[in-house]
Structure 1
Amino acid sequence: MPPTSFVNALPPHKPDAYTPAHHIGNPPTAFTNPWPSYQNSGLVSAFRARFNLPKNFVPVPADRLGLVQVRKPDFDSIATQKGLKSTWIGHASFLISTAAEAGKERGMNILLDPVWSDRVGPYGMVGPVRFTPPPCTIDELPEIDAVCISHDHYDHLDADTLRKLNAKQKGDVRFFCALGVKSVLTGLGADIHADQVEEMDWWDGVTVTKQGTGSVDIVCTPAQHRSGRAPWNIDGTLWCSWVIKESAEPGGKKLFFAGDTGYCHVLSNDQYSHHDAPHPPCPAFRDIGTLYGPFDLALVPVGCFKPRSILSGQHSSPEDSLSIHRDVRSKKSIGMHFGTFRGAFSASFEPVTEPVERWRKGAEAEGLEWGVDVGLCDVGGTVVV
């Protein structure tokens, strides 16, 4: 069945002197990070780092000491809470529920980068293995109105999850993605049809309205990352972050989802943030904060960030994400992209407990109040703003 929601474009809202410098070709056939804050380390450097850098492999604690807790979400109870709600499914997966509009039974339910699979990689046969289970099954989710995908990497776009979700919804769900990802979604074998998918460029925005439920604004915003599900299509699709705004009222709550992003390339594996780096930080986040901030809640990545000389351009350290928190002018930021999968590269260099430790230590060093300005939540936990 075709989706029962309606999508209308929002008026253009872009930075001054904007040009699509992230496009390669016209129309684009590939994409790039257009800022000095990004540097491609290259396959040779990555290969050398994997085999030459001193390893720091620490097994996942068998007793889960120091790992995030898992709780089963009570979606009926969550639906009765007032405010914009964000429930963490693990890694970069969240369920966002907007506040119910006057006279409506519920708000809009939006999934961000949903992944339920135990392994993320081609055909579910290779790739990182989940060490923290999802807090619920896909069938236990409430009705889903929209899905936003930040990019096509397997730990953010999972074929089996989307197949099950689309079947649960009987095709009545909208998918939002950046340029080039539409063909990935429709080619998954998940019975996702072209009329379900809205493909967007950076700074494009839409209002999604569902009769009897409400509406929400969704804006595709920049991120500093890469893409590709096969070696022959690296950077052939666009990556992005997302702005989600309750659109019924002028004062509707706003959420920023960073997806998977770097902040600034650093040269040394001893550097965890941009403060002493020769490169400037990515300017996109200040643009997002200027155009759409302040945000009531931001979801920012804090894990899978080592080794820094290879991953810093595309994966944020906890310290980098504290800068993103400030740049986008968020009132509260929650760490994500940790505690669920070990990165295929970072697994040999980053203990799974390190992101939490650095996120809290960095926040306190910058004078941010833990649990108020920045913090964490359990897998299955809900933050309400």
Structure 2
Amino acid sequence: MSTTVTPLPPRRPASYQNPPPHHVGFPPTSFQNPWPSYSRTTISKIITTRFNTPKNFVAVPSDRAGLVQVRKPDFGTAAAGLKATWIGHASFLIETTKAEGAQRGVRILLDPVWSDRMGPYGVVGPVRFTPPPCPLENLPEIDAVCISHDHYDHLDSDTLKKLNASHDGNLRFFCGLGVKAVLTGLGVGIKADQVTELDWWDTVRVEKESIGTVDLVSTPAQHRSGRTPWGFDGTLWCSWILKEPSKEGKRLFFAGDTGYCHVTSNDEPSHHNAPYPPCPAFAEIGKLYGPFDLALLPVGCYQPRSLLSGQHSSPDDSIAIHQDVRSKKSIGMHYGTIRGGISINYEPVTEPAQRFKNAAEAAGLRWGEDVGLCDVGETVTV
């Protein structure tokens, strides 16, 4: 069955400029976060934080008490609607609502990572303490892969190699500007004609013969990129919208990896008292494309805040993103799977889930209804 990809006219916020302020150079040779909500992480800031911030190292509970549970996935085969199955960290399998007469919906993997270690050559980098819910070969047929950015915990060469081989090179890949060269340069068999690059606000329609159609929109995120010390910010990071094109079609927002607002104190969990404004992109996303039926939002690897807040959302920040994008239901992710290289010394692995619940309730949201968490391998259907 063939897959066609058709560019659609982009919808952009009133703040859009040409050339876009997130481009560095014309054509762009690198990218930047163009908002006051972001503060660049420098080597000196990293060193200062490392030596001046008291560590709070807590070992991963050996009995898994308080950790994310893992269940064997059924991928929501008996459910009707838009489905999202959590694989762990930021990896999800999305299946759109099944069209009348079709056997299934369009299936898209978001930031798929099955490897035990997430780093160069599989010899350095964070090691997962929560396994994937099933072997990679137990996945159903996949139609496309969306990549939020090129960091190793979101773009894993071994996983992509196995996926591409199992689909005979027929998978389609969608990514931000510059990431095509990363994908085709991995040596895993991905060819240039399989990859579609998008800038922020670009839209494509993906149609799988006899299956269905979904619109993909590349939207902003506040983060960074780079797989080597000499390649920082050379490729574009993004969030994603998956939109069923019918008038009553469901809409999903995947935040990828993002910050919300830079804060200066490690004791400040969120943006509320920060001297900086929040990132305006999420309110723009909500205005243009909301309300969303489901949003997948990062809630972990955010400590220490003075160093990571510009790039990684705290649970409190993600509650603000939930509100900004006008999500009807949001699920936390980017936690409970690995320990970040920096946050390992400052963030207990059981902390994000409890903080997310506390922040939701403080905002007057219904835990488990408006906002919640799910097991690894669990399918959320809307």
TM-score by length of 2: 0.98
Q: Equivalent residues in 2 for 1:207-218 (5 A)?
A: 207-218=205-216
Q: Equivalent residues in 2 for 1:77-226 (5 A)?
A: 78-226=76-224
Which position in structure 1 is the counterpart of 2:372?
375
Partner SS, residue 276 of structure 1: coil
Question: Which of 253, 265, 268 is the aligned partner of 2:265?
Answer: 268
Whole-angstrom CA distance in 2 between matches of 1:298 and 1:183:
29
When the two chains are superposed, the root-mean-square deviation of aligned CA atoms in Å is: 0.8
Aligned residue pair count: 380
Q: Equivalent residues in 2 for 1:270-285 (5 A)?
A: 270-285=267-282
Q: Equivalent residues in 2 for 1:217-296 (5 A)?
A: 217-247=215-245, 249-296=246-293
Which position in structure 1 is the counterpart of 2:45?
45
Which position in structure 2 is the counterpart of 1:302?
299
Q: Equivalent residues in 2 for 1:60-79 (5 A)?
A: 60-75=60-75, 78-79=76-77
Spell out structure 1 runs of 4+ moving beyond 2 A: none
Whole-angstrom CA distance in 2 between matches of 1:276 and 1:364:
19
Partner SS, residue 94 of structure 1: strand
The Cα of 1:43 is off from its aligned counterpart by 1.0
Whole-angstrom CA distance in 2 between matches of 1:53 and 1:28:
36
Note the alpha carbon deviations across 1:264-308, whole angstroms, 9 max, x for none.
Answer: 000000111111001000000000000000000000000000000
Whole-angstrom CA distance in 1 between matches of 2:74 and 2:79:
11
Unpaired segments of 5 or more residues in structure 2?
A: none
Whole-angstrom CA distance in 1 between matches of 2:193 and 2:6:
14
TM-score by length of 1: 0.98
Whole-angstrom CA distance in 2 between matches of 1:192 and 1:41:
32
Which position in structure 2 is the counterpart of 1:366?
363
Partner SS, residue 204 of structure 2: strand
1:351 paired with 2:345, answer: no
Question: Which of 8, 19, 33 is the aligned partner of 1:10?
Answer: 8
Partner SS, residue 106 of structure 1: coil
Instruction: Letter of the 2:371 partner, please give it.
Output: V
Instruction: Letter of the 1:162 partner, please give it.
Output: L
Whole-angstrom CA distance in 2 between matches of 1:102 and 1:339:
37
Whole-angstrom CA distance in 1 between matches of 2:239 and 2:198:
11
Instruction: Letter of the 1:177 partner, please give it.
Output: C
The Cα of 1:4 is off from its aligned counterpart by 2.3
Unpaired segments of 5 or more residues in structure 1?
A: none
Which position in structure 1 is the counterpart of 2:35?
35
Whole-angstrom CA distance in 1 between matches of 2:179 and 2:286:
26
Instruction: Letter of the 1:183 partner, please give it.
Output: A
Whole-angstrom CA distance in 1 between matches of 2:280 and 2:226:
24
